[in-house]
Chain A
Amino acid sequence: MSEFPVSPLPAGQLYTHCDLAELPFETTAALPDLDRVPGQDRAIEAIRFGAQIRRQGYNLFVFGPSGTGKYAAVMAALREKAKSEAAPRDWVYVHNFQAAHKPIAVSLPVGQGQELKKRLARLIEEIRVALPAAFESEGYQKRRQTVEDTFRERQEQAFEEVRHAAVERGIALVRTPMGFAFAPMQDGEIQDPEQFNKRPAEERDKVQRDIEQLQDRLAEVIKLIPGWEKEHREAIRGLNRETTATAVSQEIDDIRAAFSEQPRVLDHLEAMRVDLVENVHTLLGLEHARGAQDDVPQPPIQHASAFNRYSANLIVGDGAGEGAPVVEETNPTLGNLIGRVEHLQHMGALITDFTLIKPGALHLANGGYLVLDALKVLVQPMAWDALKRALKSRRIAIESLGQTLSLISTVSLEPEPIPLDVKVVLHGDPMIYYLLGYLDPEFRDLFKVAAEFDDTMDRTSPSTVEYARLLATMARREDLLPLDRTAVGRVIEHAARVSSDAGKLTARIETIGDVVREADFYARKDGGATIEVRHVQAAIDAQIHRADRLRERSMEMIGQGIVLIDTDGAAVGQINGLSVIDLGGFSFGRPTRITARASLGSGKVIDIEREVELGGPIHSKGVLILSALLASRFGVDAPLSLSASLVFEQSYGGVEGDSASAAEYFALLSAISEVPIKQSLAFTGSINQHGTIQAIGGVNEKIEGFFDVCRGRGLNGEHGVVIPKSNVRHLMLRRDVVDACEKGLFRVFPVERAEEGIILAMGIAAGERGPDGRFPEGTVYRRTEDRLRAFAAARRAFGTSQGPEAGSEK
């Protein structure tokens, strides 16, 4: 390998400006609206496909980072699609006259549900007036009187015949408390028993025989009474039926005519007619009136609620919407999803009926689209299971949580399930999508269409213009000031920075929207008519400032020497690494001192972070890789007889990622070779087993983090950051960093190979093995190898003098 000097990046490569020539407008007011979410063509196509295909299981899961416009895109696509579709049929629940606990679901054409509800309500009002009137009418009273007279006369006639027969024989029929008795008469009155006993024996015997005959005869009559009473009741009931039927027929027939095309309504009306006729006594309180003859107090009958069962509970079909419904349920509890049966408290008991059935989101979205936040569904007890059950069975069965879990066994309503034809659109984070796919075997069958929203889009000339149109649309819709061309350019540059890639733009529209809204605030504060670049910059700066407290504290601690970071001089086994602290919406870079120590040992590199379980698996992997690299470089013809340790100094919160593995490698080489590392530089990049420096994340923040520390101590032209070459395309550095680089006060070095980093770090070439298999004298690798050979020799000598070891170094 030939040695070569590494040049710092020119300022032009540190920040990719927006070419204002690509923005052919003065302000965004001149731009037309953008009617789609930019950069999400694949996701939009998937949503449209999912919305159009009408097959079981083709529900959608829309996922992607937050703020990418998932929800807006889904709602816009669904509303557009729904507009061209037919409105779904209405649904009402009505009483089941055969099984009251199983209300019947009736489907009706659009608008007829409301109509049925109104007409049944009117029917109830009318029959509540018409029925009592019919039963109080002279005609009814006369007919009833006739029936009762007939019964009474028949009964009286029968008794009269017996009485007459008795009188003819000189015997009286006497009413007793419990029935009747016969006694001999004399002069129209009951004879005194003593007088009777004075009568001749034959007479007495005859009277006794007559009385026995009369008793038999009367007993026969009495036996007939229950049958007569039954006939009487039947006659009254028949009269009541006829009266009721006459009173309600016209009203019911009117409704029948209006719903003649709806067989289930007709069936229900017939059942209602029969029920009215059969239960008219209860409805009118006639049972109560009859019961009042008893001495026991009777509870009042709730006539009003008795009529409720003839009403209709409109579940779906308020007639408000056109086209298919697009429903979003923001609180998808079990009840809000599949509907629920509510209860009323009545004298300490909970009562319910079909009028207390409340629709869920599935009812309201039936025939259309239901949009749900996946996480919210998953955290609600039983909601996810209920949703899947409904989608699989293609029907909505209302069950309470208690019923679902079999916690209660009291009789409650079991409303007839309603057929379900809905497209469910879940939206959420990618993690939820992948976890569901991994953990729930039914998920893929039920949500076959995935629409993934990207968090970035390519930064091209057309996409730049599209982005400008997006800003124009946002400004108009939210009543913001238009942005001038330079402001748009700055927003686009910020979008690239947010995406952490100069060649990309963030698709997190909400993040960019916040900048524009806040820029509008500053522009209005200035009294401007447009948002200018300074307003955008002010908004960005203010956002950073608001979130900057932790970064400032971090820098302050470095400045005060509490956190030890050297930015001058050189030190053996010590290097400045770079890390990124992510605070959610804001992240910043911070230098971290990494140190390495080497001593005689068995060829093991100890990652102290890992030993104390502060290092994550990726970090440990990086250390193992650099160990392998070290072994492949220097352990070819002799075992590595060293013990080395690596640590992130003053790190107490854990270390993850492999972006410091290159720096750790350099520190290790320094520790072994005893060649000092320049502290004016910081290093970032991961290293592979072949010594290639690989890309890392957060390159901009890392550079800026070290820049801030160095600037605090005074830039002298020696300061800089070594980054992987493959990260150059991601550079969108702060203006002050770029300016410092432009002036030669700060530098950014791109490196591709470990050897390039070594010469930058130590000022000495790494070295390349010559034909003799040795590294050139004075190079870092030669010094390293010599030291390792010295370790090996010492180890051998130690082994000879001490005899074979029985311990761990075998």
Chain B
Amino acid sequence: MSVDNETSAFFERTIMVLDPALGGLAALEATATLAEATTGRLDVLFVEDEDLLRVADFPFAREISLSGSGTRSLDAAALARDFQRAVERARRAVASTTHARRLDWRFDIVRQRLERAVETVSAHGNLIALEGLRPIAVERIKAQMAGPVSSSFLLAGRQLATSPGPVVVCAPAASDTAPARHLARHIARRSGVECIDISDFDEFLASIGVLTGRPWRPGNFPGFRPRLAVIGRTAWPEPGLLKILSARANCPVIMVGGTRRDEP
């Protein structure tokens, strides 16, 4: 797939980080859609979490099955087999999704601590899909987001493109609005939808269904549902709000920390 200059200008890479629990696959469609619109390529980083391997080294380590089938002793060999199965499943899903979009993709496997892997990829101007990672890793990222960071983050619990609504963007501070606005307008243009700029953060939250009962000017009509929400660096929510935002927003949300356009 050829990548136009405008598309490749925003982020270095679009990276989806998957841990062995594969919770992030729920956001695969949305991530692929955004990769198509921004970097023209999807990178998947499967992390064979060293913490899990370390857990398996404890003599009393047991796994409590989520399917309700009880517990089993957790050993490194069994865990390695589980990792392998998870890798195969993830690879199939990524191949299927990108094939349908004729999107280039890459699938990397690293054995590392999950937090460390996320820290590494978020150090550059990447778009990182955070959905489904285990809480301890997300907590780490939240902490990281409090400081200066050049990456952007995608909360994509909701599928992209299920709504024909507009792209909404909230980037109030004039000095730091350009990357977020650029990105929002670019995606809106590619999708053939409107781009609505909302400076008031509460109004913005109302527009994406997180705050209810709040008067909201542009979308104050029934059935309004944005296609995508973009939050500029100056409007990034407090870490405590991140979870609510992730759970309640009725569309995918990109928190833009920086893009390649920020660079001189």
Q: Known interface pairs A190-B51, A222-B68. Does A177 touch B136 (Cβ–Cβ under 8 Å)?
A: no
| Inter-chain contact B212/A142, CB cutoff 8 Å | yes
Name the residue among B26, B68, B224 with the largest chain A CB count within 10 angstroms.
B68
CB neighbours (8 Å) of A190 from chain B are: 51, 54-55
Question: Which positions 51-68 of chain B face chain A at CB distance < 8 Å?
Answer: 51-52, 54-55, 57-58, 60-68
A176 in contact (CB, < 8 A): yes
A136 in contact (CB, < 8 A): yes
List the B residue with the shortest CB-CB distance to A188.
B136
A180 in contact (CB, < 8 A): yes
Say how far B133's CB is from chain A's closest CB, in angstroms.
Answer: 9
Say how far A223's CB is from chain B's closest CB, in angstroms.
Answer: 6
From B26, B68, B83, B222, A137 is in contact (CB under 8 Å) with: B222
A794 in contact (CB, < 8 A): no
Say how far B160's CB is from chain A's closest CB, in angstroms.
Answer: 14
CB neighbours (8 Å) of B92 from chain A are: 295
List the A residue with the shortest CB-CB distance to B83.
A177
CB neighbours (8 Å) of A193 from chain B are: 54, 57-58
| Inter-chain contact B67/A179, CB cutoff 8 Å | yes
B124 in contact (CB, < 8 A): no
List the A residue with the shortest CB-CB distance to B135.
A163
Stretch in A83-91, A211-219, A261-269, A669-677 with 4+ CB within 8 Å of B: A211-219
Say how far B46's CB is from chain A's closest CB, in angstroms.
Answer: 12
CB neighbours (8 Å) of A152 from chain B are: 247
Question: Which positions 203-230 of chain A face chain B at CB distance < 8 Å?
Answer: 208, 211-212, 215, 218-219, 222-223, 225-226
| Inter-chain contact B68/A139, CB cutoff 8 Å | no
| Inter-chain contact A225/B68, CB cutoff 8 Å | yes
* A225 CA to B67 CA, complexed, in Å: 9
List the B residue with the shortest CB-CB distance to A293.
B26
B120 in contact (CB, < 8 A): no
Say how far B103's CB is from chain A's closest CB, in angstroms.
Answer: 18
B89 in contact (CB, < 8 A): yes
* A193 CA to B51 CA, complexed, in Å: 11
Say how far B218's CB is from chain A's closest CB, in angstroms.
Answer: 14
| Inter-chain contact A180/B212, CB cutoff 8 Å | no
B79 in contact (CB, < 8 A): yes
| Inter-chain contact B64/A219, CB cutoff 8 Å | yes
CB neighbours (8 Å) of A175 from chain B are: 19, 21, 23, 134
| Inter-chain contact A295/B93, CB cutoff 8 Å | yes
What per-residue 1/0 map shows which CB atoms of A185-196 lie under 8 Å from chain B?
000011011001
B85 in contact (CB, < 8 A): yes
Say how far A388's CB is from chain B's closest CB, in angstroms.
Answer: 61
A30 in contact (CB, < 8 A): no
List the A residue with the shortest CB-CB distance to B157.
A152
| Inter-chain contact A139/B222, CB cutoff 8 Å | yes
* A184 CA to B136 CA, complexed, in Å: 14
A581 in contact (CB, < 8 A): no
| Inter-chain contact B61/A181, CB cutoff 8 Å | yes
CB neighbours (8 Å) of A163 from chain B are: 135
* A184 CA to B58 CA, complexed, in Å: 9
Say how far B230's CB is from chain A's closest CB, in angstroms.
Answer: 21
Say how far B167's CB is from chain A's closest CB, in angstroms.
Answer: 18
| Inter-chain contact A176/B250, CB cutoff 8 Å | no
Name the residue among A145, A212, A225 with the largest chain B CB count within 10 angstroms.
A145
Q: Known interface pairs A137-B223, A141-B225. Does A183 touch B68 (Cβ–Cβ under 8 Å)?
A: no
CB neighbours (8 Å) of B79 from chain A are: 176-177
B248 in contact (CB, < 8 A): yes
| Inter-chain contact A219/B71, CB cutoff 8 Å | yes
| Inter-chain contact A174/B51, CB cutoff 8 Å | yes
Q: Known interface pairs A137-B222, A215-B64, A295-B96. Does A176 touch B82 (Cβ–Cβ under 8 Å)?
A: yes
From A137, A177, A192, A211, B86 is in contact (CB under 8 Å) with: A177
CB neighbours (8 Å) of A179 from chain B are: 63-67
A479 in contact (CB, < 8 A): no
Q: Known interface pairs A138-B222, A138-B224, A142-B209. Does A181 touch B55 (Cβ–Cβ under 8 Å)?
A: yes
A124 in contact (CB, < 8 A): no
List the A residue with the shortest CB-CB distance to B22.
A177
From B57, B89, B225, A138 is in contact (CB under 8 Å) with: B225
Say how far A163's CB is from chain B's closest CB, in angstroms.
Answer: 8
CB neighbours (8 Å) of B74 from chain A are: 176, 181
List the B residue with the shortest CB-CB distance to A212.
B60
A526 in contact (CB, < 8 A): no
A172 in contact (CB, < 8 A): yes
A99 in contact (CB, < 8 A): no
| Inter-chain contact A295/B89, CB cutoff 8 Å | yes
What per-residue 1/0 map shows which CB atoms of B160-196 lie under 8 Å from chain A?
0000000000000000000000000000000000000
B70 in contact (CB, < 8 A): yes
A552 in contact (CB, < 8 A): no
| Inter-chain contact B21/A177, CB cutoff 8 Å | yes
| Inter-chain contact A196/B58, CB cutoff 8 Å | yes
CB neighbours (8 Å) of A137 from chain B are: 222-223
List the A residue with the shortest CB-CB distance to B249.
A145
A149 in contact (CB, < 8 A): yes
What per-residue 1/0 map shows which CB atoms of A131-162 lie under 8 Å from chain B?
00000111101100100010010000000000
CB neighbours (8 Å) of A176 from chain B are: 20-21, 52, 55, 63, 74, 79, 82
Q: Known interface pairs A141-B250, A149-B248. Does A174 touch B55 (Cβ–Cβ under 8 Å)?
A: yes
A-B contact pairs, 12 of them (CB 8 A): A141-B250, A145-B250, A176-B55, A177-B79, A181-B64, A182-B62, A190-B51, A190-B55, A196-B58, A219-B70, A222-B64, A293-B26
Given contact pairs A145-B250, A208-B60, enumerate 16 new A-B contacts (beta carbons under 8 Å). Answer: A136-B223, A139-B222, A176-B20, A176-B52, A176-B79, A177-B22, A179-B64, A180-B63, A181-B64, A181-B74, A211-B60, A215-B71, A219-B64, A222-B64, A222-B66, A295-B89
Listed in ascending order, the chain B residues whose CB lies under 8 Å from chain A are 19-23, 26, 51-52, 54-55, 57-58, 60-68, 70-71, 74, 79, 82-83, 85-86, 89, 92-93, 96, 134-136, 209, 212, 222-225, 247-248, 250
Listed in ascending order, the chain A residues whose CB lies under 8 Å from chain B are 136-139, 141-142, 145, 149, 152, 163, 172, 174-184, 189-190, 192-193, 196, 208, 211-212, 215, 218-219, 222-223, 225-226, 293, 295
